[in-house]
Amino acid sequence: MRPYSRQYASIVFVHDEKQRASAIESRERAETKLGTKVTTEFLPFKRFFIAEDYHQKYYLRSSLVLMREFAVLYRDPKEFVASTASARVNGYLGGHGRRADLEVEIDRYGLSPDGRRALLAAARSE
């Protein structure tokens, strides 16, 4: 029995054996760093399915201020999902990326001063 739901399984889909080997090495490094087993599976890539809307931009959706901003910027939900800006902001909100990089690129996102403040306040300070 697996220790997680299959619906939310951690899986890396690989295109070839070189990617598979690289992914396995990465998992092993993570296990060493974390001191625990990582249950990510590696399966052959077959077909890509975009996740349902409510799964898109999870961290961004948790910020009411920033979601209001992006609702104005991207009135069509498909444009929001496809937006590089929303993906970048979601990543920063999820704790990925360096604060210095965010400060360099934040002007590209089209945010209001309130939106900029909210993003900078929520982003990791490293």
The yes-or-no verdict on residue 30 having pLDDT over 60 is yes
- The pLDDT tens digits for 74-106 are 999 889 999 999 999 999 999 998 999 999 999
pLDDT at 31 over 60: yes
8-19 confidence digits (pLDDT tens): 788 999 999 999
Decide: pTM greater than 0.75. no
Top-confidence residue, 8 or 113: 113
Q: Each residue of 66-80: b (16+ CB within 10 Å) or e? A: bbebbeebbeeeeeb
> What's the mean pLDDT in 9-38?
95
Helix (H, G, I), strand (E, B) or coil at 2: coil
